[in-house]
Structure 1
Amino acid sequence: MQATVDFAARIAGICQELGIAAGVIAQRGLQLQVEPAGLVEVCVAADGHVFQLTPSAREAWHAMQAAAARDGVAMALVSAYRSVERQREIVATKLARGETIANILTSVAPPGYSEHHTGRAIDIGTSEEDALEEVFETTPAFAWLQVHAGEHGFVMSYPRDNAQGFVYEPWHWCFRQPGYTGSERH
């Protein structure tokens, strides 16, 4: 219990430092996303970056990727676990470039509120051209995910006009559990 209180206090301090008002977080219904223990390596990118997920999310990702490949559809990880500190750096960099916090928060969750902190969220791409772009929705990978992702426990977190106020992210999927079809947030 104390660890949760300490985590919440740490996140509140980081958000305050970045100029992210608690009211904005509450208004958008964002929930704290606690970083898990026991992350495991999923794969290593060409640049040496190690992608990590929880063991169950890694198993589900590998099964889903293999099933897609059997259907002739290629998918690759673009992003997986991301620490609170890395999320803070992303927001701070955008602020330093002159972006407003309101604009930043349409495409980047506040530190402590990103599903990537859980080790269950992944960003999926098929090539550099569609990585983290709306055009991903035109790919065979996206069409396959719409039909089969739920069988592997993944749901698209941010459809068009989502309640959390993020831009449409057809590439962002979060592991819930196999057969999951609901839309409640974790």
Structure 2
Amino acid sequence: MNRRQAGTAYRERIAALLAELGLPASLFADRPLRLIAEARRLTPVGLGTDGRDKLLTPGAARAWRSLRAAAAGDGVELLLISGFRSVDYQAALIRAKLARGLSAEEVLRINAPPGYSEHHSGRAVDIGCTGTAALDEAFETTPAYDWLRRHAAEHGFRMSYPRGNRQGYLYEPWHWFHVGSTAANKPAM
């Protein structure tokens, strides 16, 4: 299968998954979301706060280790909550929220639709710190967040979802994306 065929097959897979979940593209058509391919080369970066080994692309893994070491050098502990997330795992997260009674609109303010999560790229990390609940807006009041705000760009990371972000997600001060090279920032398909 050539690259074009692979891209078409991926888009078809995502469309079928969105239909199965009852998430018509019209729910997020007015948001500037881009289809993101799943990373193919991943490397372990250590245990996350859930006790499971987390994965990132090799470049993002090096950048994460550098970021964490620099923070530690300044007396700031950064905890890895989440890294690579497959399309299937993303779909499972959404299924669970829909099963709990959340509407599709509510779910899509919290989670990206399968195929559109930065976590698929293997270059996104959710970061936490001791003493603050994971994935909580209160993270913005911590020394860890303050350190990230001042130093993350030096390691190639940017916060993806600030307040009022164009993508329409809730504010996520814990979600940081390894930008990498210009070529790496082009849409996957």
Q: How far did residue 185 of structure 1 move?
A: 7.7
Distance 2:53 2:135 in 1: 18
Residue 145 of structure 2 aligns with which residue? Answer: 142
State the SS of the aligned residue for 2:158. Answer: strand
Query: Who is 1:157 aligned against?
Result: 160
Asked whether the 8 Å contact 1:152–1:177 carries over to 2, the reply is no
Deviations 1:39-74 (A, max 9, x none): 000102465412000000000000010001111111
Residue from 167, 171, 182 that aligns with 1:168: 171
Q: Say yes or no: does 1:30 pair with 2:66.
A: no
d(CA) in 1 for partners of 2:176, 2:163: 14
Question: 1:177 is matched with which residue?
Answer: 180
Q: 2:56 aligns with which of 38, 41, 53?
A: 53
In the alignment, structure 1 segments of 5+ residues that lack a partner are: none
Question: Any gaps of 5 or more consecutive residues in structure 2?
Answer: none
- Code of the aligned partner of 1:156: M
Question: What is residue 114 of structure 1 aligned with on the other side?
Answer: 117
**In the alignment, which of 40, 45, 60 is matched to residue 42 of structure 1?**
45
Counterparts of 1:34 and 1:185, CA distance in 2: 11
Tell me which stretches of 4 or more aligned residues in structure 1 moved more than 4 Å. none
The residue type paired with residue 29 of structure 1 is P
CA contact (8 A) 1:159 1:170 kept: yes
CA distance in 1, matches of 2:63, 2:106: 33
Measured in 1, the distance between the counterparts of 2:35 and 2:115 equals: 6
Distance 1:40 1:90 in 2: 23
In the alignment, what sits opposite 2:89? 86
1:64–1:152: 8 Å Cα contact kept in structure 2? yes
Tell me what 1:63 maps to.
66
Give the length in aligned residue pairs.
182
* Structure 2 CA distance for partners of 1:8 and 1:167, relative to 1, 3 Å: same
**Same amino acid, percent of matched pairs:** 49
* CA-CA distance at 1:170 after TM superposition: 0.1
Q: What is the rounded CA distance, in whole Å, between the counterparts of 1:47 and 1:34 in structure 2?
A: 25
Give the TM-score normalised by structure 1.
Answer: 0.93
Aligned partner of 2:133 in structure 1 is: 130
Residue 116 of structure 2 aligns to a residue whose secondary structure is coil
1:75 and 2:78 equivalent?
yes
Alpha-carbon offset, residue 128 of structure 1? 5.9
SS at match of 2:130: coil
Query: How far apart are the structure 2 equivalents of 1:136 and 1:153?
Result: 20
Q: Which amino acid aligns with 1:42?
A: V
**Equivalent in 8, 17, 33 of residue 20 of structure 2:** 17
The one-letter code matched in structure 2 to 1:165 is G
